[in-house]
Amino acid sequence: MTISLAVAGASGYAGGELLRLLLDHPGVRDGSIEIGALTANSNAGQRLGDSHPHLIPLADRVLEETTPEILAKHDVVFLGLPHGHSGEIAAQLSEDTLVVDLGADHRLADAADWEKYYGTEHAGTWPYGLPELPGQREILANTKKIAVPGCFPTGATLALMPGVARGLFSEQITVVSVTGSSGAGKAAKVPMLHAEVHGSAKAYGVAVHRHIPEITQNLGGLTDAQLKVSFTPVLAPMARGILTTAVIPTSHSAEEIRAAYAEAYATEPFVHVLPAGQQPMTANVLGSNCVQIGVEVDATAGTAIVTSAIDNLAKGTAGGAIQSMNIALGLEETAGLPLVGLAP
C-alpha cells in the first residue's frame, strides 16, 4: 500500500526543507511513499521551482491552495503554516489522517500560556514530536497527531535534559540561543533584509519570547523542582543554524555531568556529546538532523555551561517532523534523515 502525503506551506523555508529531506527518504525512492499535494497561500498557482529552484525533481509541480478538501485526500499531512493557522485546518481533517504540525498551535499544554504568548484561542494539545524525551517514542508510535517542537526549544531541551532529569543542576536556568535569519520564515520583513542583518547581531524577544513556556514545559516534566527559565534569542548574520548556550549553577564536576550526558544519549542516533574541550559548531550540523552537545564546568563560578548546535530547519523543524512521522508510521526512525553535516 502506498502512503500519500501532502505538504501545506510548501513554498516556505520549512516546507522546502521538508521536501528536500523527503526526496531522499527511502520510502519516496522505492515508491511506498508518494508526495502528493503541495499547497501554499499567496504562492498558490505558481510552480514550486519559483520558490525552491533547488528542488529540481519537484520544480514543475504547481502549488495548490491550502484547503482541508485538498489535504484530506492524503494519509499524512504536514502543516508548515504560520502560528495560529494550523488549528482550524487540522480540526477539519479525518481522525485517521496522520497530521504533523510544524507550527506552534498544538505544542503547549497550558491554554493560558498559549493565550498569553500568542494572543489567540488555544487549539488544543497534541503529542510532542521530540522522540528523545523520556517515553515519547511510545506515545508517538500510537498517535495520529504530532506537534513538532519549536527550533529553540529543540536545542535548549536537548542541551539541558540529562542534567535536569538527574538533578545535577540548580532550578535557575539561563539560556541564550544564537540563530540564523531563516528562523523568521520566508515572508519579507525589514529587520530580516540583508542590509539589516549583515555584519550585526541583536537580541530580540527579550524576557517575553514565545518559546519560554515551551522550554519550561519540556524541562518541567523531568523534575519536581520549580524551574526558572530565562531565555534570550540572538539574531546573527547567518542563514541557518542555532547555537545554544545554557548556564546553570551546579555543585557537580564536568566529568560527572559529561558522563551523565554520555549515558543518557548513548543510544540516540542524532545526539552527539562531544569530548572535553571540544565545542559544537553550527557548520558541523548544517543540513543534518544531528545535535552536537558540549559540557563544561566553571568551577570558580560554580556553573555548568552546556552548549548545543542544531540546524534550525532540519532537526529544529523539518527533520524533527520526519523523525516523528517515521515513528508514527512504524518506519525506521532515521529513514531519510542525514547523519552527516555539510562542513565547511
Asked if the model's pLDDT at residue 343 lies above 90, the reply is: no
What is the percentage of the chain residues whose pLDDT exceeds 70?
A: 99
Residue located via cell numbers 568551577 = 299
Contacting residues for 253 by C-beta, under 8 A, at least 6 apart: 297, 299
What does CATH list as the number for 3-149+315-329?
3.40.50.720
pLDDT score at 14:
96
Identify the pLDDT of residue 256.
98
Task: Please say whether the dihedral angle defined by the alpha carbons of residues 38, 43, 49 and 54, taken in this order, is positive or negative.
Answer: negative
pLDDT of 218 above 80: yes
The C-alpha atoms of residue 289 and residue 312 are separated, in whole angstroms, by 9
Percent of the residues in the chain that have a pLDDT greater than 90, as a whole number: 92
Task: Work out the average pLDDT over 172-195.
Answer: 83
Look at residues 187, 38, 9 and name the one whose alpha carbon lies nearest to residue 102. Answer: 9
pLDDT, position 197: 82
Give the pTM.
0.95
Residue 68 has pLDDT above 70, yes or no: yes
Amino acid letter at 307? Answer: T
pLDDT digits (tens, 9 = 90+) for 257-278: 999 999 999 999 999 999 999 9
**What average pLDDT does range 34-47 have in this prediction?**
96
- Assigned CATH class of 152-312: alpha beta
The Cα–Cα gap between 209 and 241 comes to 18
pLDDT digits (tens, 9 = 90+) for 77-104: 999 999 889 999 999 999 999 999 999 9
- Mean pLDDT, the chain, whole residue set: 96
In this prediction, residue 188 carries a pLDDT of: 65
What value does the mean pLDDT take over residues 29-41? 97
* Band of residue 168 on the pLDDT scale cut at 50, 70, 90: very high
Give 130-142 pLDDT, tens digit per residue.
Answer: 999 999 999 999 9
Q: What would you report as the CA-atom Rg of the chain, rounded to the nearest whole angstrom?
A: 19
What was the pLDDT predicted at 226? 96
Just list the catalytic residues: 151
| CATH 3.40.50.720 residue window(s) in the chain | 3-149+315-329
**What pLDDT score does 216 carry?**
97
List, for residues 312-339, the tens digit of each pLDDT value. 999 999 999 999 999 999 999 999 999 9
What is the pLDDT, as a whole number, of residue 191? 74
Q: What is the pLDDT of residue 161?
A: 98
195 has pLDDT over 80: no
The segment(s) of the chain belonging to CATH 3.30.360.10 are 152-312
pLDDT interval class at 193 (50, 70, 90): confident
